[in-house]
Amino acid sequence: MTKNTVIPFGPQHPVLPEPLQLRLTMEDGRVVEAIPSIGYIHRGLEKLAERKDFVQDVFLIERVCGICSFIHSQAYCQAIETLLGIEPPARAKYLRVFWAELHRLHSHLLWLGLFADSFGFESLFMQVWRIREGILGLMEATAGARIMLGTCCIGGVRRDVPDADFSGIRSRVESLRADTLEILPAVRDDITVKTRTVGVGVLSAEAARVTGAVGPVAKACGIAIDHRTRGYAAYGDLDFEVVTHTEGDSYARMLVRCEEILQSFGLVEQVLAKMPATPIATPFRGNPDGETIERVEQPRGEVLYYLRANGSPMLDRVRIRTPTFANVPALLAMVPGCSTSDVPVIILSIDPCISCTER
């Protein structure tokens, strides 16, 4: 009679940038069950947001996650604008897309470098992060900061990008895209990567729906869900495709992110080509009242903001559901049946961000 063994994976492991533990039940060298253990870095940001006024919260919300920080502030500001009944100017919407897509590029490239590193490809890791440094340089040049931009505000954006700078930005984007196209085959076509990812951590489309998967995890199962197609900000004026694959394995999740990188480069170029000449912010007065839900597409998938206001400067409730939280149930469905050596790759394939999950 085979005796099951329970072993802990994490919270400290070379592939985990942030602490997450899975208690793995093993039978004959295979995982039969995984139980998550989270809560290592809970920061209480939702409660803190209720103790500051709604304008101060813009800066706090941006710090929910360092990798997709601008998109958090964008979602929050759009929710407040709904409660106040104001509309940002067209240029502000385009600039929001510009910085949001730079954050998507920065996030996907960061993940791709870590993914290469998990296979021991140190040189490839450095080359991918070299391209990422160019993206961070663009954010610093246009917003004055590399990660926490502080440019999104209620009613629009705080900082403009002069039209005279567009040519230089476009040239830099073309160069970075060329570098990316040169390096992607080294990840996509390598036999070691395929051996470790093809058919590993398979999630069916039905399981993805049942577990509520979002972002590249769902898209890799053939589910074309992307909130940018709703047309918020300036996405309704721009052309892009929702990237999907149908295999549902770790390799497909990598392909989705690689192709989204190229889509984001195209969106940045479209923003520069179509940027309208309007003010960058709409003035507002008063305090928000009522409740609303705002959904936007982060690099990892849908982030949901629920706000409840009472007409005072302080919000009654701020509730955030991040994409990693939504993808943890999908992760638990991927792991059973795999070997212990596959677990790090499968976990990394969902691109977990525990800091924003636990807030």
Token output for 11: 């919270």
C-alpha to C-alpha distance for 53 and 312, rounded to whole angstroms: 8
170 to 28, 70, 128: CA distances (angstroms): 55, 21, 20
Q: Are 75 and 303 in contact (CB under 8 A)?
A: yes
219's tokens: 């898209």
Whether residue 352 is preceded by a cis peptide bond, meaning omega within 30 degrees of 0, is no
Name the residue among 299, 276, 298, 267 with its Cα closest to residue 160. 276
Q: Is 129 exposed, middle or buried, given 0-12, 13-18 or 19+ CB atoms closer than 10 A?
A: middle
CB 92 within 8 A of CB 281: yes
Strand 301-310 relative to strand 289-298, pairing:
antiparallel
- CA nearest to 38, candidates 23, 19, 52, 25: 19
The tens digit of pLDDT for each residue in 317-329 reads: 999 999 999 999 9
Residues 54, 348: Cα–Cα separation, whole Å: 35
Contacts of 109 (CB under 8 A, 6+ apart): 128, 129, 131, 132, 135, 180, 261
Q: Give every CB contact of residue 206 below 8 A, 6+ residues apart in sequence.
A: none
CA-nearest of 140, 131, 126 to 107 is 131
Give the number of other CB atoms < 10 A from CB of residue 97: 22
pLDDT at 1: 44
Rg (CA), the chain: 21
Domains and CATH numbers, the chain: 44-358 (1.10.645.10)
Residue keyed to tokens 């999104």: 152
- CA-angle at 344, arms to 338 and 346, nearest 5°: 60
Residue at token pair 């525990």: 354
Q: What is the pLDDT of residue 2?
A: 56
User: Most distant CA pair in the chain: distance in Å?
Assistant: 74
Q: Consecutive sets of 10 residues in the chain, 359 residues long: mean pLDDT of each?
A: 76 80 87 85 87 94 90 96 97 97 96 89 92 96 92 96 96 97 91 92 95 95 95 96 95 96 97 96 94 96 96 95 92 91 90 82
